[in-house]
Amino acid sequence: MPRARFAVTFVAAVAAATASLVAAPIASATDPATRLSQPVTYTAEMGGIYQITHPEQPWPGVDDWSCQPSPQHPRPVILLHGTGANGVNNWGTIAPSLLNEGYCVFAPTYGATPLFPGIGATQRLTDHVNEMTTYLDRVLDATGAEKAEVVGHSLGVTVGMHLAKVTSPGRIDGVVSIGGFAGGGSAEGLPGLASLAPVVDFEGLAAQVSREVPDGPLPMPFPSLLDVNEHSPTGQKLFAGGSPFHHGTRYTLIASIFDGLVPPAMSFPKGNYPNVTTHVLQDTCRQNGADHAALYADPQTVDLMLNALDPATTVAPRCWPTTPIIGALGAVPTRGAVASY
């Protein structure tokens, strides 16, 4: 082949290949409506089982950075786990429930260390909030959404409330609290402490200790538990103005009378707030025995959460027997089926 013809052919081939690379998208976008439906198991252990059988893998469909929110669900949902949990084992029921409804879902493990990557929320609350503020920016940039929704369990609720009010106001549309603290008193919330209240000023003691503990690393496990009150350095920021709520954010607070760590009196602050809705599971379902660990596997909780995220598709929450630690009993009816035990 003459050199001139070879050169022309080679240049044309390179140009064609370059054009095809430029024209091709780096990653194809995920349409949530095209995902296959997943089975939902209402047991608290399902997330942990998946984590053991699929190490270092997110729940299928979660953390899909190519997911593009649909017009029906334009805001991605960020799941924030509790103390010592992670982005997989806390969400074995809630993650597939959200995916089946067509949401883009993200479930980070925050506050973990390289030595124990599967144990989250091991640092101070300031560290967790800073990490998740950056994560929120990344989610919104990837999805193109203006705002996100937050669903938190236990400590994850406090982290989400900080995002909504302190570090990223206007970027969180709604916060769903599952067994989270929002300003109630420990003495009135826990019967054992209430009986000792005439003798010991628990609120005053907690305030004094929390104020005297400086922000920063502490040589103790899960030090962020010292920050979950209105007196700590981070707590004072969250409760500035008298409440942990941001006026432009919707809050749905879900609690159980069988929650021995954060019962309703601790989940709900005193006073009325127009953008806050509270639910005690047993007020409408006496068969529900969910404790702190089973709350995130409870069908009634799932329905209240989905109703809060999309009020246009509200259904009657399923009333079904849920046991402490384990979760729901028997074959749970599908969402939208009005059923009681």
Q: At 16, which amino acid appears? A: A
pLDDT at residue 51 above 70? yes
**Does the residue 225 lie in any domain?**
yes
CA 165 vs CA 100, 173, 228, 295: distances in Å = 29, 11, 15, 25
Number of domains into which the chain is organized: 1
Angle at the Cα of 167 from the Cα atoms of 161 and 171, rounded to 5 degrees: 75
Q: Is 132 among the domain residues?
A: yes
Share of the chain above pLDDT 90, in %: 69
Rounded CA separation 167/237 (Å): 10
Q: What pLDDT is attached to residue 211?
A: 64
The pLDDT of residue 269: 87
The reported pTM is 0.86
pLDDT digits (tens, 9 = 90+) for 230-239: 888 899 999 9
CB proximity list for 161: less than 8 A, separation 6 or greater: 152, 175, 177, 180, 182, 238, 244, 245
Q: Would residue 54 count as lying in a domain?
A: yes
**64: CATH:** 3.40.50.1820
Mean pLDDT across the chain: 86
Task: Among 8-22, 140-154, 161-175, 182-196, name the one with the lowest average pLDDT.
Answer: 8-22
Report yes or no on 272 lying in a domain.
yes
Could you tell me which residue, 271 or 3, shows the higher pLDDT? 271
So what's the pLDDT on residue 208?
63
pLDDT for res 204: 59
- The domain in which residue 52 lies consists of 30-328
In a domain, 7, yes or no: no
**pLDDT at position 230, please?**
86
Radius of gyration for the alpha carbons in the chain, expressed in angstroms and rounded: 23
pLDDT of residue 226: 85
- Average of pLDDT values for 181-206? 53
Name the pLDDT band for 161 (thresholds 50, 70, 90).
Answer: very high
Report residue 205's pLDDT band, with 50, 70 and 90 as the boundaries: low
- Which comes out higher in pLDDT, residue 20 or 289? 289
pLDDT over 90 at 49, yes or no: yes
The answer to whether position 17 is within a domain reads: no
- Name the least confident of 9-23, 30-44, 271-285: 9-23
If DSSP codes are grouped into helix, strand and coil, which group holds residue 307?
A: helix
Question: SS3 for 180?
Answer: coil
Which residue would you say has higher pLDDT here, 186 or 301?
Answer: 301
pLDDT greater at residue 280 or residue 198: 280
Residue 282 lies in a domain: yes
**pLDDT confidence of residue 191:** 43
* Domain annotation covers residue 92: yes
Q: How confident is the model at residue 34 (pLDDT cuts 50, 70, 90)?
A: confident
For 281-339, the pLDDT digits (tens) are 999 999 999 999 999 999 999 999 999 999 999 999 999 999 999 999 999 999 988 65
User: What residues contact 192, with CB distance under 8 A and at least 6 apart?
Assistant: none
Whether pLDDT at 92 is above 50: yes
